[in-house]
Each structure stands twice: as structure tokens, then as C-alpha cells.
Amino acid sequence: MAASIVSEATIGPQDPDAGKNPAAVALGRLGGKKGGKARAARMTAEERSESARRAAAARWSRRS
């Protein structure tokens, strides 16, 4: 019993969608799954390259 209490306190609930409206969760996932691909399809090669460059700079700036 003690192990399950510690596990629940440190790891938290196993289902991150617990207590949420399932329809809203499904809609959010649907938009999130296609959002990046749709954005990339609209961008030119130069815009994609610039976006990737900014993303890499942001990732490396956080490292210390």
C-alpha cells in the first residue's frame, strides 16, 4: 500500500485525459496532429528553413 501511495504522489495519475470531456480531447488531438504538417505545406522552402533555424536557436539558447 505504501508503494502505491508513493507512486501516485511522485508519478501522478496514469491517464492525463482523466476527467476531461472525451469529445474535446479528440478534437484537440485532431487539430494538433495535422497542424504542423499543414503549416509546413503552406510555407516555402526558405520559410521552412528560417523557421527551423529559429527553433534550433531557441533550443540551444536554453542549454546552460
pLDDT band at 16; cut points 50, 70, 90: confident
Query: What is the pTM (predicted TM-score) of this model?
Result: 0.47
- Would you tell me how many other CB atoms lie within 10 Å of the CB of residue 3? 7
**Do residues 25 and 17 touch, judged by C-beta distance below 8 A?**
yes
Task: Indicate the length of the chain as a whole number.
Answer: 64
pLDDT score, position 57: 95
Rounded Cα–Cα distance for residues 38 and 25 (Å):
20
Name the CA radius of gyration of the chain, rounded: 19
Cβ-based neighbours of 17, under 8 Å, separated by 6 or more: 25
